[in-house]
Amino acid sequence: QKENQNMNNIDDWVAHYRTFSKEGKNASYIPALEKVNSSNLGISIIGPDGTMIKSGDWNVPFTLQSISKVISFIAACMHHGIPYVLDRVDLEPTGDPFNSIIRLEMHKPGKPFNPMINAGAITVSAILPGQTPQEKLESIYLLMEKMVGKRPSLNEEVFVSEWQTANRNRALAYYLKETGYLEIEVEEALEVYLKQCSLEVTTEDIAIIGLILAQDGYHPIRKEQVLPKEVARLAKSLMLTCGVYNASGKFAAYIGIPAKTGVSGGIMSAVPPRVRNEEFPFQEGCGIGIYGPAIDEYGSSVAGVMLLKKIADTWDLSIF
Ligand code: GLN
């Protein structure tokens, strides 16, 4: 792991933006997420040559939550092919919160608008290969192992906490069952979906996944194409247009990097090798993983979004 001198002020930025965590609140609808230290803030940046920058609470584990939607979508596309998956879930942003139900009924026959909102993600989890929830989950474990190099552990406490309080996700799943988009039993689909949300990672893990996406599916450290280029591009386009739900437009306008947020406070970003600022030490692109559990009204880390914006502004990282 090489140190990079140009980014020494990252530590100062983390210290600075950490103080803004109090403008947000830990997710409370999942009781186990409410009690973690809300002033945590950490970041990992990884380049294709293995250069890494890490700061703050980069190594504090947190659960993937909605970041897992990108991984399950990729796994489903790799198993079934893209057209099969897109027959069951669309590619359109909703402008609604992640757990919204309204558009499922507004537009018959009720196809979920995209796989980044809960309705679409539950639909995708249900079509993962295998018969049982455990078999379906296994395809996520395998893909994570391929990308991150290790099998993530399941945070049982977060899973049980969410399982017991998942009334809204159950409502979405029952609706999808009624319209025919949910192809397995409601409780089984929820088990897959909520378990994938409860997989534990650090900022380093999601930075590596972001890096692989930035490299169009090529794992530059393993020197292997771990997912097809078309699937990586589709995932990034969904992250950009739908990854932050009803804040995706603002996120694209003000930050301009494909990213996926989760209610535990994680942000996974893919910075492509397209930069104009020569001082940026990752000219070949990078993955950025951030964790800060105090979230805003859209379900994204308050301090984390500020830190990412600072980085994007400083080095002209917007893809636009
Ligand atoms: N597990 C969470 C849920 O389904 C994920 C939501 C999120 O991270 N935005 O409500």
CA angle, 273 then 213 then 215, to 5° = 40
Are the CB atoms for 271 and 283 separated by under 8 Å? no
Which positions are catalytic?
A: 66, 69, 193, 245, 263
pTM: 0.96
Query: In which element (H, E) is residue 266 found?
Result: strand 266-271
Q: Whose CA is nearest to atom 6 of ligand 1?
A: 66
60 Cβ contact list (under 8 Å, min separation 6)? 40, 42, 202, 291
Regarding the beta carbon of 72 and ligand 1, being less than 6 Å apart is answered no
Are the CB atoms for 61 and 264 separated by under 8 Å? no
Mutate which of 99, 122, 164 to test ligand 1's pocket (most atoms within 8 Å of Cβ)? Answer: 99
Are the CB atoms for 242 and 95 separated by under 8 Å? no
CA 231 to chain centre: 15
Q: What is the pLDDT of residues 251-310, one digit of tens each?
A: 999 999 999 999 999 999 999 997 678 888 899 999 999 999 999 999 999 999 999 999
Delineate the domains of the chain, giving CATH numbers in brackets: 5-62+201-314 (3.40.710.10), 66-197 (3.40.710.10)
Span 24-28, mean pLDDT? 96
Q: What is the pLDDT of residues 143-201, one digit of tens each?
A: 999 999 999 999 999 999 999 999 999 999 999 999 999 999 999 999 999 999 999 99
**Which ligand 1 atom is nearest residue 262's CA?**
8
Of residues 280 and 133, more confidently modeled: 133
Query: In which element (H, E) is residue 63 found?
Result: strand 62-63
Record the tokens describing residue 132, joined without a space.
């049982």
Phi, psi angles (nearest 5°) of residue 301:
-55, 125
Beta strands in 174-265 (DSSP E): 200-201, 218-219, 224-225, 259-261
- Find where tokens 């589709």 sit: 234
Record the tokens describing residue 294, joined without a space.
């105090």
311 has pLDDT over 80: yes
316 Cβ contact list (under 8 Å, min separation 6)? 275, 276, 277, 280
Regarding the beta carbon of 155 and ligand 1, being less than 6 Å apart is answered no
Are the CB atoms for 317 and 256 separated by under 8 Å? yes
Q: Whose CA is nearest to atom 4 of ligand 1?
A: 118
Rounded CA-CA distance 12/312 in Å is: 16
What's the longest Cα–Cα distance across the chain? Answer: 57
Q: Specify the pLDDT at position 1.
A: 41
- pLDDT band at 107, cuts 50/70/90? confident
Q: Specify the pLDDT at position 275.
A: 67
Cα–ligand 1 centroid distance for 118 (angstroms) = 7
Residue 154 CB neighbours (<10 A) = 16
Predicted-complex ipTM score: 0.97
4 has pLDDT over 50: no
Residue 96 CB neighbours (<10 A) = 15
Span 134-139, mean pLDDT? 98
